[in-house]
Structure 1
Amino acid sequence: MLSPEGPTLRELAVQALSSVERGYDLLAPKFDHTPYRTSDRVLDAVASALASMGPFDAGLDLCCGTGAGVDVLSRVCRESVTGVDFSAGMLAVARERVEPQGPAVSWVRADARALPFGPVFDLVVSFGAFGHFLPRELPGLFDQVRSVLRPGGRFAFPVVAPPRPGSPGYWTLLGFDAAMRVRNALWRPPFVMYYRTFRLGDVGRGLARAGFRTDLYALPEFGRRPDGSPRVRLVVAGRLP
């Protein structure tokens, strides 16, 4: 897929007709060669922004996949970094790919909706995972994140501005979500992956209800849209007492 090392169309079709967990187990060996992996440019921009807010002691990469976010946490955390994901295949690749440099790194297989940790983290990050949660699941997810953060801890993730209505990007995402809804109406098990359900306004209200104070930071590396708004923001939600 867009790369000789990426998955073939046949492999993607098999993955798309699987459950989310099984699909990512199959995709894992080639995941880093697909557009689904968060770009180094985004990772570097987030790491730079977080460095100015830290340092932090313990960090958690939520839905870590092959460990790109763990690399970010290793730059801004002093003591320990943990990656959590429910795909055994993705974790296996992460263990092989990530070479600990600095803080100790550990990997845990678990569902983000039922995290097996106490309030032991100062920073939780996540990259590109929220489309795998239905809107009704987000309040529970935010509650889980709050439960593993120490008082004053932060939950950070980048958000890309949505494409303008009528633009090619708009129709692409709309078409993808429509195709996914048809697929899930006709085929079991479902594969939850939607691009247009994670809206910044709704997310801010959900974080507030879960006990967070949210700040937005423009990532200057990506510039601004014609209306002056940032192309990419970093959401930083601080856990309230």
Structure 2
Amino acid sequence: MFTPQGPTLRELAVQALSSVERGYDLLAPTFDHTPFRTPPAVLDATAAALAALGPFEDGLDVCCGTGAGVEVLRRVCGRRVVGVDLSAGMLAVGRAALGGGDRPRTEWVRGDARALPFAPAFDLAVSFGAFGHFLPREWPGLFAQVRGALRPGGRFVFPVVAPARPGSALYWTLWAFDGAMRVRNTVWRPPFVMYYRPFRLGGVRAALERAGFAVGLRALPELGTRPDGSPRCRLVVARRD
């Protein structure tokens, strides 16, 4: 997809007709060569913001995939970094690329973000590009699971891109993609949940607060501004009181 190293159209079609877990197992070997991986500019801007918020000792990457967020955590955490994901294939790619390490120690755990297998052991949790795989009604439970993995005062941090301008090419692309996924899930089982259009800051903030977080926002100026001067991307910083 878009590069010789990326998945073919046939491979993407097979993935789209699979479950989320199986689909990402299939996509894992070529995932880092697709546009679905979080861009380096977003990762770098987030890492810079986290460095200013720290120091941190233990970090958790929720829905870590092949480890983009794990790399960010390894820059800002001093003792331990854990990546958790439902896909064994994505974890295997991340483990092969990044390994374990000693400082910080890096671990890879297979698990469902809706039932995280952790006691309150982390002072920082992050997530990049995974929230479209959860329906809005699942957000409060998902965020409650992350809160349960954080020590008191711990932070859950993730970037949120400003919504596409109505009428723009990106706006209609997201509408078309969302519609195609809804049609697919109406006529085919198992479902493949990937709806990014509903993930808007207002609803997300309300769900975080309902889960017990105090929510703040930080602009990421490195990623530019919109024509009205507002940031193109903000960092949600949710603190477990």
Give the superposition deviation at 1:101. Answer: 6.7
Show the 5 A alignment for 1:113-152. Answer: 113-152=114-153
The reply to whether residue 193 of structure 1 matches residue 184 of structure 2 is: no
Amino acid at match of 1:140: G
Provide structure 1 residue ranges, at least 5 long, that are not aligned to the other structure: none
Q: TM-score, normalised by structure 1?
A: 0.98
Give the superposition deviation at 1:18. Answer: 0.2
Counterpart-to-counterpart distance in 2, 1:57 and 1:101: 13
Cα separation, partners in 2 of 1:167 and 1:62, compared to 1, 3 Å: same
Does structure 1 retain, via aligned residues, the 8 Å contact 2:153–2:240? yes
Does structure 2 retain, via aligned residues, the 8 Å contact 1:74–1:101? no
Deviation per CA, 1:130-185: give whole Å up to 9, x if none.
Answer: 00000011010011011000000000000111110000000000000000000000
Instruction: Give the structure 2 partner of residue 216 of structure 1.
Output: 217
Counterpart-to-counterpart distance in 1, 2:223 and 2:149: 31
Instruction: Give the structure 2 partner of residue 30 of structure 1.
Output: 30
Instruction: Give the structure 2 partner of residue 203 of structure 1.
Output: 204
Instruction: Give the structure 2 partner of residue 88 of structure 1.
Output: 88
Instruction: Give the structure 2 partner of residue 71 of structure 1.
Output: 71
Amino acid at match of 1:115: L
Does structure 1 retain, via aligned residues, the 8 Å contact 2:41–2:223? no
Amino acid at match of 2:173: T
Amino acid at match of 2:90: M
Give the superposition deviation at 1:197. Answer: 1.4
Query: Is the partner of 1:192 in helix, strand or coil?
Result: coil
Give the RMSD, CA atoms, in angstroms. 0.8
Give the superposition deviation at 1:209. Answer: 1.1
**Which stretch has the larger CA shift, 20-29 or 206-215?**
206-215
Does structure 1 retain, via aligned residues, the 8 Å contact 2:66–2:93? yes
Provide structure 2 residue ranges, at least 5 long, that are not aligned to the other structure: none
Counterpart-to-counterpart distance in 2, 1:82 and 1:98: 12
**Which stretch has the larger CA shift, 100-109 or 142-151?**
100-109
**After TM superposition, what 4+ stretches of structure 1 lie above 4 angstroms from structure 2?**
none
Instruction: Give the structure 1 partner of residue 229 of structure 2.
Output: 228
Amino acid at match of 2:23: G
Query: Is the partner of 1:44 in helix, strand or coil?
Result: helix
Counterpart-to-counterpart distance in 2, 1:26 and 1:101: 30
Counterpart-to-counterpart distance in 2, 1:220 and 1:229: 10
Does structure 1 retain, via aligned residues, the 8 Å contact 2:63–2:130? yes
Give the superposition deviation at 1:192. Answer: 0.3
